[in-house]
Amino acid sequence: MNNINILLFYKFVEVENPSDFVEKHLAFCKKLKIFGKVLVGKEGINGSISGTKEQTEKYKEKLREDKKFSDIIFKEEIGRSSPFTKMSVRDRDEIIRMGKKIDMNNVGKYISPKEFLSLYDREDKNLIILDARNDYEWKVGKFKNSITPNIKTFREFPKFVESIKNKKDKKIVMYCTGGIRCEKASSYMIQQGFNDVRQLHGGIISFCQKFPNTVWDGKCFVFDKRLVSNINEDGGLISECLLCNSSCDLYRNCKNKKCDKFVIMCLDCEKKMNACCTDNCLREFRKQCSEKSFLKQGRRMSLVN
């Protein structure tokens, strides 16, 4: 089986006519026969695509032909199969949604992976290493000694910032998967009066490719069908099954449609609970299955009559 190249990329830059760009870009991606998801808005582009080495090189070349994206940086991973099943290019108001008016011309200073690693050699009580991701992401992996916000979506990040407003004089060093959330989050924190805000250039993926098995614990959550990427050679687990507390990094959506919670669940518990996260959800799921079966039976009877 041939390896699959996976690209992760973004850039905040003015796009005058996003809908026109979307139409042309989708046509190119389909012609190239790649898979992935790309979001385009007036504030820029945010995407991830997969294909063969030849296909991804052609994609990079094509995107960089546009002067707006000539210096765009691609984070690259190698997989055994495509993490996407189709190609999607969509127009969005925000390429990473926070729901706040942000001046993207004033963002946190970049620090290199090497500079980030060196922070762990110092005893700086004024330093805060801040994870800008959602809780279900950092539960399977995070940098050592980092602060991890209890947020479900990036839209909740401003509320978290409000909770740490007494730390405006601290040195804040932020990180996220590929860097895009740190761009917007650091800019927001600067607007809120934080004095020293920096961000890990290239994010978690770039850091672990350069310095594996150092200060990263666990694995990395990714927004494709892989869900979890093993970015460290040792592949250690830091998360546990919600139900039995065994070491686990498998994510599942609760089968109860009224819950649909994103939970870590081992294969044994998934089988035992029909992928439901609680006994109540299991009962509700069985009820939903019975109702669905009854409706199907009713439709069959009506066709017979």
Q: What is the mean pLDDT of each run of 10 residues along the chain (305 residues)?
A: 87 96 97 97 96 97 96 91 92 95 94 97 93 95 96 96 96 96 97 97 94 92 80 72 86 89 88 93 92 68 54
Which of the listed residues 196, 218, 240 is the one where a domain comes to its end? 218
* Shared domain check, 265 and 202: no
Q: Quick check: is 97 in a domain? A: no
CA 29, CA 55: separation in Å to the nearest integer? 10
Give the pLDDT of residue 239.
78
pLDDT the model gives residue 147: 97
Rounded alpha-carbon distances, angstroms, from residue 245 to 242, 266, 273: 6, 9, 15
Which position among 29, 176, 182, 269 bears the catalytic label?
Answer: 176
Q: What is the pTM of this model?
A: 0.81
Count of domains for the chain: 3
Q: Provide the residue count of the chain.
A: 305
> How far is it, in rounded angstroms, from Cα 142 to Cα 133?
10
Q: Is 248 an annotated catalytic residue? A: no
Q: Rounded to whole angstroms, how far apart are CA atoms 51 and 78?
A: 10
Residue 225 is predicted with a pLDDT of 74
Domain boundary among 218, 242, 266: 218
Whether residue 234 lies inside any domain: the answer is no
- The reported pLDDT for the residue numbered 39 is 98
**Based on the domain organization, do 125 and 155 belong to the same domain?**
yes
Given this model, what pLDDT does residue 123 score? 83
Segments forming the whole domain that contains residue 46: 4-91
Give the CA radius of gyration of the chain.
Answer: 22
DSSP codes of every residue in 127-166: EEEEE-S-HHHHTTEEETT-B----SSGGGHHHHHHHTGG
